Amino acid sequence: MRTSYRVICDDCNAETTVPFMPSEGGKPIYCRNCFQKRKPKRDY
């Protein structure tokens, strides 16, 4: 079983969980909704 870590989304400040340990001063962490909004759209 994977360990989940509770974090706060850097965009909307919602509490969420991630499957990795976030590092201090690392990349921003987003909740599922904010991550989907920021993901580049693909043209097929």
What span, in angstroms and rounded, lies between the C-alpha atoms of 27 and 7?
A: 13
- The amino acid occupying position 27 is K
Cα of 11 vs its chain's centroid, Å:
9
Q: What is the pTM of this model?
A: 0.74
pLDDT digits (tens, 9 = 90+) for 4-43: 999 999 999 999 999 999 998 889 999 999 999 998 888 8
Close Cβ partners of 22 (under 8 Å, ≥ 6 residues apart): 5, 7, 29
